[in-house]
Structure 1
């Protein structure tokens, strides 16, 4: 570590103008006199770090009182690179956001590389990037200062983008559309899983309006198209959570994108089927379909998804490995195959589990509708659905250990030199674990899932909440514990309505559906 001198607590405006800031709340008098918005005062404890990139991975070990300490077990020796970069929350947030979210987690946002230099971006877009970066920083290090400053930046960005929308030229600009996407991401990061509701999709609807205003055909191959496809995914999940059919513009986006992507890629086929399943869910919610109609349509789409899975190789490949008898008894649910799967990357893991989740929900609908049907011949369809759920649950279970078992299977993800309980977790490792939360929720939610797998999923959610300090796992675990199995409501209402837009894109990332993930173009 290199001591760079005690950083100033002064607000941004006073620092830039070398003025003496009186640090008054909620705004310093210097800003009040000129009618400027005061950015607030820096958290000087959190900004005394010389290496921005390594800060994200090593802050827990470099500072004894860091909020990231809760993510570490023991204190291994970590070699820090020393570089001299400007130190403030905005810089830390931008470095973390670009390094771990834009570069690693989701290619949807690679259009932001065009605006690495704030001078090359409109004011509303710069403010939007700052707001999202601070929100991401706040979530990772539990910084209230970053959270509050991020909210102020968000309000400023919202005002600026509303001004831009008043002009027909700037309203059609790519940067305005991109700003709307950033404001939506900010809200997803800052809101808890239980706060997301039908009123939380305003920016998605606004972005779709801008697409219609600009014209789908104007979006070019590359970063623009990836951003457009990311919007189409977000909008699809919003439709699922609100019980509405897919906006026609989403299908127009796919028609346009089909000119530039590999439509044989399994990810493309899966995302197309999700549009149809969304419309089916909206139709079923109306309550006009007979049990037999629900069975027929659910089984049709389940078989379509099964075909995608069958034809996925070699684009989606993974390796199945066996566990020793002692390890298997400890690491998998009772009665399950003692195996685990290793996937090439986070995206392929997520794609497989999205497909499996969709099939589980369809099969649950088939089983429920069979119980309401008077047709004796539906018994075979019910048996097939039960068998499919068991297989799908086994596959989801086998995908978990590669991320979560730090003692054995996921040991290679730990920092070099980690031994036994003495280890920390990198941000990429945390994001790897994050994508599993929604899958574990569905396994524990499924009525047809074996009880041993339900208990195993609950245990793993608790492990993720405690060992990896991921608060969303604790939120979802609390939901599962409160709801009784015999009182569960429609899977479309509970699963998609409550959790699909949870922060950091649990579903999209793709994941908070991220989330991670389904949000980049299928040609990658």
Structure 2
């Protein structure tokens, strides 16, 4: 209610005509003289206060329509980092760090673990969305995590805890995300080996809990990749750990696990060749051929859920090397097959080298010509199969449906680059193709047309997906410079992204 001050008792005609009203009982003199109907006189006590609720509401509504509602404050860089890290590593399709949920919580009192989570999450955020602040905070968290983890390793009761092994795994992941040079011989190779020793001290009880088994599988994978890439011997503790994990598993090993067993055999055989433990050339050749036959046998035993479909196309797009491509039921299936193909390429290159003399000609000895030809065919087939895995993922996982038809938003059939930028979630599936493409294109066996096609695809990745390392590898291939595949793998931080 609003107070309106003193009011006139005059009749309405007098108020309108602004005349003095004499307030006579029947009708005022002014109305009688003008022959007007006098309206009577107001009760000013009732009108002294006026109801203004509706008017006030109207004014407030008008103000709201022109007032900008403040937005919620932006998430901190730590929250952003953890969100994107958890999305890809904990909840994503391959879930390589799914066990993180059961081992770590936001309220964890293990400072070395929480700082390690911050360090790797910030580093991963910076890898996806380069930011000076994310990079700086990642380094700070990493230094702090190193200090706290070193202290934990010096205390027997902390050293054996799940949190300490997980912190080592996370810091190893940080190294692979941020380091663009081989780091497999340095401190973190030692740290991973030390984590293996800690696991050994913990006994068999640790294998009962499924989430802890997941963490130990991750550790075994990281150590295996470190050994293979650095060409150092596969540790006996690693082989023992994998046997124990398999013994406690409730399900039969999947093709990826069985493939890792063969990769261990490859690493051991190659190390024995490098160190001349296996020196007889005939023995080396037939050992390599026998191992390659095991890879072939594994490929025939892959269950339907791990198989891909080959789709023939009437018109090749710019992303088709040949007139077909593969459709995989999931990205981790594609990764398994490309690891299989890349390893077979490296294996058969060793076979071919054993069939050549110092002048680069095939040895005249019995059977070498046929062995050399089979190895050459295998390399070419694996290389073209790697190329066939690219169209499904070059624009994102939904580029093609299972019939092989391009999606409605795809430009793959047009031979032109699509407009705009892809969804950031599609960055990693594309990134994971770089290493197998490099292995395929670097071989001296494949035709120049394949190497050129791979360079074009890498340049497309650099342009469309903004992947700088794709351009680096493209330039490396185009230069013709022979580069050890392990160094390229390390430069890409590959097992940080190929999980």
TM-score by length of 1: 0.73
Q: Is 1:340 matched up with 2:325?
A: yes
Q: Say if 1:198 and 1:241, in contact at 8 Å, map to a contact too.
A: no
**Counterpart among 251, 254, 269 of residue 258 in structure 2:** 269
Name the residue aligned to 1:96: 84
**Counterpart among 442, 447, 456 of residue 450 in structure 1:** 447
Distance 1:251 1:414 in 2: 47
Distance 1:351 1:343 in 2: 11
Q: Is 1:319 matched up with 2:309?
A: yes
**Counterpart among 138, 147, 163 of residue 150 in structure 1:** 138
Name the residue aligned to 2:367: 377
How far 1:93 sits from its partner (Å)? Answer: 0.6
Q: Is 1:298 matched up with 2:285?
A: no
Q: Is 1:196 matched up with 2:186?
A: no
Structure 1 residues 216 and 279: alpha-carbon distance in aligned structure 2, compared to 1, 3 A threshold = farther
Structure 1 residues 181 and 108: alpha-carbon distance in aligned structure 2, compared to 1, 3 A threshold = same
How far 1:481 sits from its partner (Å)? Answer: 3.1
How far 1:214 sits from its partner (Å)? Answer: 2.2
Name the residue aligned to 1:140: 128
Distance 1:345 1:458 in 2: 25
How far 1:205 sits from its partner (Å)? Answer: 2.3
Structure 1 residues 466 and 420: alpha-carbon distance in aligned structure 2, compared to 1, 3 A threshold = closer
Structure 1 residues 267 and 83: alpha-carbon distance in aligned structure 2, compared to 1, 3 A threshold = farther
Distance 1:143 1:413 in 2: 34
Gap runs ≥5 in structure 1: 1-81, 517-524
Q: Is 1:238 matched up with 2:244?
A: no
Name the residue aligned to 1:39: none
Q: Say if 1:134 and 1:147, in contact at 8 Å, map to a contact too.
A: yes
**Equivalences for residues 329-408 of structure 1 within 5 A:** 330-333=318-321, 336=322, 338-372=323-357, 373=363, 375-405=365-395
Q: Say if 2:197 and 2:237, in contact at 8 Å, map to a contact too.
A: no
SS in 1 for 2:310: strand
Name the residue aligned to 2:273: 284
Q: Is 1:187 matched up with 2:170?
A: no
Name the residue aligned to 1:171: 159
Q: CA RMSD in A?
A: 2.6
Structure 1 residues 86 and 125: alpha-carbon distance in aligned structure 2, compared to 1, 3 A threshold = farther
SS in 1 for 2:91: helix
Distance 2:193 2:119 in 1: 20
Distance 2:355 2:192 in 1: 37
- Give the total of aligned pairs: 412
Structure 1 residues 420 and 303: alpha-carbon distance in aligned structure 2, compared to 1, 3 A threshold = closer
**Counterpart among 471, 474, 492 of residue 471 in structure 2:** 474
Q: Is 1:500 matched up with 2:483?
A: no
How far 1:265 sits from its partner (Å)? Answer: 2.5
Q: Is 1:211 matched up with 2:232?
A: no
Gap runs ≥5 in structure 2: 1-69, 358-362, 411-415
Larger RCO (alpha carbons 8 Å, 6+ apart): 1
Q: Say if 1:107 and 1:226, in contact at 8 Å, map to a contact too.
A: no
